[in-house]
Amino acid sequence: MTETPEAPSPPERRSAVRSLLRLWPYVRPVRRTMIAGAAVTVVASCASLVIPLALKWIVDGPVAGKDPSGVWLGGALVLVLGVVEASLFALRRFLVARPLAQVEADMRADLYGHLQRLPVSFHDRWPSGQLLSRGTTDLMLLRIFLAFPLTFMLVNGVTILVGFVVLLVQQWMLGLVLLAPVVPLVILCTYFEERYSRAARTAQDQSGDLATVVEESVLGIRIIKGFGRHRGQERAFDALSGRLRGTELRKAHLLGMLWAVIMSLPELAIGAALVLGVLQVADGDLSAGTLVAFLSTALALRWPVESFGFLIAIANESATAADRYFEVMDVPVPADRTTTSASASTSATSATSATTVGGKSGAVPSPRPAGEGGGLRLEGVGFRYPDAPADAPPVLHGVDLHIRPGETMALVGTTGSGKTTLTALIPRLHEATSGRITLDGEDIAVMPRERLRELVSVAFEDPTLFSASVGENVLMGAGAGREADLARALEVAQAGFVHALPEGTRTQVGEQGLSLSGGQRQRLALARAVVGDPRFLILDDPLSALDVHTEALVEAALREVLAGTTALVVAHRPSTVLLADRVALLSGGRVTAVGTHHELLRTSREYASLMAGDEDRSAAADRTYARHEGGRR
Ligand SMILES: Nc1ncnc2c1ncn2[C@@H]1O[C@H](COP(=O)(O)OP(=O)(O)OP(=O)(O)O)[C@@H](O)[C@H]1O
């Protein structure tokens, strides 16, 4: 728990410009507003360059001619120019704020949609904090970049260009003195840019890791407190936070050096131009007004030049943010891309022809194809986790199993034998690496995901509830307009406790349903699985947290539901196995025996051992096995 989560290693660094150019599809719809905003800013910036020219006119004209009314006129002109400049900057902000908030929202929606479609194996590999930071901090950085540095790099570039033309026209020699630092500035900026961009990437990844640790600490607070692990967790947090602080300091150091270079070289040039200019005025080669205008223009260009350090830094961080965003967006969604379905981990919706759970209350059962092609069939199915070591054997290989239409099959096997993995292949939470799985003869690999979600419903041992009401959590498993089934589903799952909650089925159960007990959450997850009267029901040990009495009640109600549904139920306890018509034993990655509970007790020592219970398991298994062997003879 105290280990630092690791983000998947970043790909080769591309140039900042190429990274930022990838934002174009999102910026395209708002390009006109952006161009208008930039044009307004260029005009505002150029207005600021006219002010020195007005000053030159004041100094060489009214001041030299001792004309007070001219000075007032000049002052009024400078004031108007200042007001125009400020108003245009405000107009720019007004123009771009809304469209850029939309760009950020669109990118976030795309990221969220993509995360929902990516397979479970992707989510197994990626720390959640990394995804969280990409969807929040990185997107915020990109919005800031589009709103500010992107425009100002352009505007300041144009301003500097226009400013230098004005300077060269006024006094070409002094203009060249000011231009002298450009080449060393470009070289030094490139040097710092490369280092800064590496530090920015490291800092953004580290802040994602930190978010993961915080999230784990909050979600796992019971374990942390229960095992007194808060010191260990604090150490992990401190270590990560210390590393992030170090990286941020490195960034600040680099930025400081960049600023120092960008500020000092132009200042030196302005100083040199001032000395030369004063000498020229003294020699009578230059008017005092021209020198004032020249120096005012040079000083007006100070901020556009100096701001480049800051703009380069934000642009680099934004390029890194774009890289991190597209790293996730570039992960392909496997196989059919027709899906728009929501999280694979939620329960699925129902077959559309039935209206109630368990075929009661006038429900019309869905037509269920019979015969060899019907039901749920696995043919030579194999599976290996993508991140498993190359030399590790596959979790499943050559699994053959046929569950007849309307039949309930229990799946048993030792812990770690691959039961959960096998159940995850049917709703395609993981893709089988070999073989095929058919539902009523239809291959799930070529089935649109929406259809698969309609056919198959799932409930897992570890039930996830969302920050929503009890009713909304359960009805996630049903199509629209299935509210009428809620009461029946709650009844099947023996979830009557919800009526005692403060607001009944409208009670909010909070993040992860933490306000409910494990058994209560399991029952709601079970209700979600059965609410839509699915044609195929996959239950991964859904009753493990229930007491024996409640389990018996749930089983009795489930038997009604399962009577009309083809079901695969992972079972650890004989009581759950007894729900099933037949049992499949998973061993060594394949199904080694199929039969009724009693048949398998007679014919399989491994099965008898599994069913014998925890106490003195092998001795009991031997007794059971011997008793049946004796009975047969
Ligand atoms: N995401 C994963 N990546 C790599 N290996 C995994 C992953 N999930 C499970 N495994 C491995 O696959 C094997 C089968 O795990 P699975 O959870 O399917 O077993 P199980 O039979 O359901 O166990 P249990 O009865 O304890 O729930 C185990 O060896 C496990 O370590």
Compute and round to an integer the Cα radius of gyration of the chain.
35
Nearest residue by C-alpha to atom 1 in ligand 1: 124
Nearest residue by C-alpha to atom 24 in ligand 1: 415
Q: What is the mean pLDDT of the chain?
A: 80
Ligand 1 centroid, distance to 583 Cα (angstroms):
20
- Asked whether 400 and 380 are in contact (CB, 8 A), the reply is yes
Top-confidence range, 21-35, 207-221, 260-274, 295-309: 21-35
Give yes or no: residues 44 and 169 share one domain.
Answer: yes
Q: How many domains does the chain have?
A: 2
155 part of a folded domain: yes
- pLDDT for the residue 316: 86
Measured at the CA of 37, the angle between CA 107 and CA 311, to 5 degrees, comes to 70
Nearest residue by C-alpha to atom 10 in ligand 1: 385
- Asked whether 572 and 378 are in contact (CB, 8 A), the reply is no
Task: Summarize the confidence of residues 300-309 as an average pLDDT.
Answer: 79
pLDDT, one tens digit per residue, over 87-99 is 888 888 888 888 8
Ligand 1 centroid, distance to 91 Cα (angstroms):
59
Give yes or no: residues 297 and 374 share one domain.
Answer: no
Give yes or no: residues 232 and 105 share one domain.
Answer: yes
Ligand 1 centroid, distance to 422 Cα (angstroms):
10
Nearest residue by C-alpha to atom 28 in ligand 1: 416
Mutate which of 419, 460, 543 for ligand 1? The one with the most ligand atoms within 8 Å of its CB, which is 419
Ligand 1 centroid, distance to 579 Cα (angstroms):
24
217 part of a folded domain: yes
Nearest residue by C-alpha to atom 6 in ligand 1: 385
Question: Which atom from ligand 1 is nearest to the alpha carbon of 417?
Answer: 21
Give yes or no: residues 315 and 456 share one domain.
Answer: no
Question: Which atom from ligand 1 is nearest to the alpha carbon of 422?
Answer: 18
Give yes or no: residues 228 and 374 share one domain.
Answer: no
Tell me the pTM. Answer: 0.66
Cα atoms found within 13 Å of the Cα of residue 517, Cβ hemisphere only:
11
Question: Which atom from ligand 1 is nearest to the alpha carbon of 541?
Answer: 27
Give yes or no: residues 164 and 293 share one domain.
Answer: yes
Ligand 1 centroid, distance to 515 Cα (angstroms):
28
Q: How far apart are CA 463 and CA 559, in angstroms?
A: 21
Is the pLDDT assigned to residue 377 strictly greater than 90?
A: yes
- pLDDT for the residue 337: 39
- Paired tokens of 357: 């759970």
Question: Which atom from ligand 1 is nearest to the alpha carbon of 413?
Answer: 21
Question: Which atom from ligand 1 is nearest to the alpha carbon of 120?
Answer: 1
Is the pLDDT assigned to residue 408 strictly greater than 80?
A: yes
Percent of the chain with pLDDT over 70: 86
Q: Which residue has the higher pLDDT, 395 or 230?
A: 395
- Asked whether 406 and 343 are in contact (CB, 8 A), the reply is no
- pLDDT for the residue 479: 63
- pLDDT for the residue 616: 44
Ligand 1 centroid, distance to 609 Cα (angstroms):
21
Give yes or no: residues 311 and 400 share one domain.
Answer: no
Question: Which atom from ligand 1 is nearest to the alpha carbon of 586?
Answer: 21
Ligand 1 centroid, distance to 385 Cα (angstroms):
9
Give yes or no: residues 198 and 285 share one domain.
Answer: yes
- Paired tokens of 534: 């699915």
Boundary-marking domain end, from 303, 329, 355:
329
Task: Summarize the confidence of residues 342-352 as an average pLDDT.
Answer: 35
Ligand 1 centroid, distance to 387 Cα (angstroms):
12
Using pLDDT thresholds of 50, 70 and 90, give the confidence band for residue 327.
Answer: very high
Question: Which atom from ligand 1 is nearest to the alpha carbon of 421?
Answer: 18
Is the pLDDT assigned to residue 364 strictly greater than 50?
A: no
Give yes or no: residues 387 and 478 share one domain.
Answer: yes
Is the pLDDT assigned to residue 365 strictly greater than 80?
A: no
Using pLDDT thresholds of 50, 70 and 90, give the confidence band for residue 9.
Answer: low
Pocket around ligand 1: residues whose beta carbon is below 6 Å from it? Answer: 124, 385, 387-388, 395, 413, 415-421
Task: Summarize the confidence of residues 414-435 as an average pLDDT.
Answer: 90
Using pLDDT thresholds of 50, 70 and 90, give the confidence band for residue 512.
Answer: low
Say whether 537 sits in a helix, a strand or coil. Answer: strand
Q: How far apart are CA 432 and CA 379, in angstroms?
A: 11
Ligand 1 centroid, distance to 318 Cα (angstroms):
39
Phi and psi at 591, nearest 5°, equal: -85, 115
Mutate which of 381, 399, 417 for ligand 1? The one with the most ligand atoms within 8 Å of its CB, which is 417
Task: Summarize the confidence of residues 117-123 as an average pLDDT.
Answer: 84
pLDDT, one tens digit per residue, over 168-200 is 887 888 888 888 887 888 888 878 878 888 888
- pLDDT for the residue 75: 83
317 part of a folded domain: yes
Nearest residue by C-alpha to atom 23 in ligand 1: 416
Is the pLDDT assigned to residue 430 strictly greater than 70?
A: yes
Ligand 1 centroid, distance to 421 Cα (angstroms):
6
Burial class (CB in 10 A: 0-12, 13-18, 19+), 586: buried
Is the pLDDT assigned to residue 112 strictly greater than 90?
A: yes
Q: Return contacts of 331-337, CB within 8 angstroms, 24+ apart.
A: 331/114, 331/118, 331/122, 333/114, 333/117, 333/118, 333/119, 334/119, 334/431, 335/431, 335/445, 336/446, 336/447, 336/448, 336/449, 337/117
Ligand 1 centroid, distance to 365 Cα (angstroms):
35
Mutate which of 395, 425, 568 for ligand 1? The one with the most ligand atoms within 8 Å of its CB, which is 395
Q: Report the CATH number at residue 505.
A: 3.40.50.300
What is the domain range of residue 426?
369-595
Question: Which atom from ligand 1 is nearest to the alpha carbon of 572?
Answer: 25
Using pLDDT thresholds of 50, 70 and 90, give the confidence band for residue 454.
Answer: confident
Say whether 544 sits in a helix, a strand or coil. Answer: coil
632 part of a folded domain: no
Ligand 1 centroid, distance to 394 Cα (angstroms):
11
Mutate which of 421, 569, 614 for ligand 1? The one with the most ligand atoms within 8 Å of its CB, which is 421
Burial class (CB in 10 A: 0-12, 13-18, 19+), 357: buried
543 part of a folded domain: yes
Nearest residue by C-alpha to atom 29 in ligand 1: 416
Is the pLDDT assigned to residue 371 strictly greater than 80?
A: no
- pLDDT for the residue 105: 92
Q: Report the CATH number at residue 26.
A: 1.20.1560.10
289 part of a folded domain: yes
Task: Summarize the confidence of residues 414-440 as an average pLDDT.
Answer: 90
Boundary-marking domain end, from 329, 350, 380:
329
Nearest residue by C-alpha to atom 17 in ligand 1: 420
Percent of the chain with pLDDT over 90: 17
Ligand 1 centroid, distance to 349 Cα (angstroms):
26
> CA nearest 571: which of 560, 563, 581, 579?
579
Is the pLDDT assigned to residue 298 strictly greater than 80?
A: yes
Ligand 1 centroid, distance to 416 Cα (angstroms):
5
Give yes or no: residues 314 and 450 share one domain.
Answer: no
Boundary-marking domain end, from 278, 309, 329:
329
Q: How far apart are CA 608 and CA 403, in angstroms?
A: 22
Task: Summarize the confidence of residues 220-235 as an average pLDDT.
Answer: 77
Residue type, 17: V
Nearest residue by C-alpha to atom 30 in ligand 1: 416
390 part of a folded domain: yes
- Paired tokens of 84: 């125009």
> CA nearest 528: which of 484, 490, 477?
477
Ligand 1 centroid, distance to 415 Cα (angstroms):
8
Lowest-pLDDT range of 275-284, 309-318, 500-509, 621-630: 621-630
218 part of a folded domain: yes
Report how far apart, in Å, the C-alpha atoms of 553 and of each of 96, 279, 547 are: 61, 102, 10
Give yes or no: residues 317 and 385 share one domain.
Answer: no
Question: Which atom from ligand 1 is nearest to the alpha carbon of 424?
Answer: 18
- Asked whether 233 and 239 are in contact (CB, 8 A), the reply is no
- pLDDT for the residue 2: 41
Handedness of CA 197, 202, 205, 211 (dihedral sign): negative
Give yes or no: residues 159 and 303 share one domain.
Answer: yes
Task: Summarize the confidence of residues 529-557 as an average pLDDT.
Answer: 80
Task: Summarize the confidence of residues 59-80 as an average pLDDT.
Answer: 80
Ligand 1 centroid, distance to 391 Cα (angstroms):
17
Is the pLDDT assigned to residue 582 strictly greater than 90?
A: yes
- pLDDT for the residue 426: 92
Using pLDDT thresholds of 50, 70 and 90, give the confidence band for residue 110.
Answer: very high
Residue 411, strand partner residues: 570, 584
